[in-house]
A = this chain, B = another copy of it.
Amino acid sequence: MGRWEPNSRERLFAAALELYAERGYEQTTVAEIARRAGLTERTFFRHFPDKREVLFLGSAVMEEQLTKVVTEAPASASPLTAVAAAIEAVSAGMQERQDSVLVRQSVVAAHAELRERELIKRAKLAATMTEALGARGVDPLAARLSAEAGTAVFHVAFERWVEDRGRTRGLVDLVREGFEVLRTVAGGERT
């Protein structure tokens, strides 16, 4: 336990999630998270400013992935198509880590302070995709609206996924359906 171990960030995240689920978010201290992870408080604070930020560990990774997929989409892909590919990729990752994603979600959903933070992080994901589309030469307004509409599709799909307790459909499947429906409602008649 005393020796140095890799992945301290991930271990702190896993420990925090366990404790939040077992005892509740408020009742858990940084000292307890560190102990459960087999690390020191000092190590905790090297990675996170407080116990709230642990829950947002995934944001930076998601931002990187979104940027990468948008950037690498074929030159012929429309902005919304590039955004859809990026969101599907991120969703596939979340589907694989389903258990921890769902525990995290239930902790966030139970605290106004965390829900608000989540909304801000989501706005940042849209900004990330807007920037990546801009770097592809997409017109700024088209970039922004594609990113924002795509983010909306993602979060509708995510909510449906969380609410479907039986998890009868995968997140990726729900995301794909969302983009289909968006194209239908936005591509229909204009009057």
A residues at B contact (CB < 8 Å):
76-81, 115-117, 119-120, 123, 141-142, 144-146, 148-149, 151-153, 155-156, 160, 177-178, 181-191
Task: Report how many copies the assembly holds.
Answer: 2
5 contacts between A and B (CB under 8 A): A80-B186, A119-B123, A141-B177, A144-B156, A149-B182
Main secondary structure of the interface of A (DSSP, over half): helix
Chain B residue numbers with a CB within 8 Å of A119 are 116, 119-120, 123
Quote the shortest CB–CB distance from A190 to chain B (angstroms): 7
Contact of A116 (CB < 8 Å), options: B120, B141, B185, B190: B120
Chain B residue numbers with a CB within 8 Å of A182 are 145, 149, 186
Quote the shortest CB–CB distance from A97 to chain B (angstroms): 25
Whole-angstrom distance between the alpha carbons of A187 and B183 in the complex? 6
Whole-angstrom distance between the alpha carbons of A93 and B169 in the complex? 42
Chain B residue numbers with a CB within 8 Å of A155 are 148
Q: Is the CB–CB distance between B141 and A178 below 8 Å? A: yes
Q: Is the CB–CB distance between A145 and B181 below 8 Å? A: yes
Quote the shortest CB–CB distance from A12 to chain B (angstroms): 25
Chain B residue numbers with a CB within 8 Å of A185 are 78-80, 142, 145-146, 149
Whole-angstrom distance between the alpha carbons of A145 and B181 in the complex? 8
Quote the shortest CB–CB distance from A145 to chain B (angstroms): 5
Q: Is the CB–CB distance between A145 and B141 below 8 Å? A: no
Whole-angstrom distance between the alpha carbons of A81 and B189 in the complex? 8
Q: Is the CB–CB distance between A76 and B191 below 8 Å? A: yes
Q: Is the CB–CB distance between B152 and A148 below 8 Å? A: yes
Quote the shortest CB–CB distance from A137 to chain B (angstroms): 14
Q: Is the CB–CB distance between B142 and A184 below 8 Å? A: yes
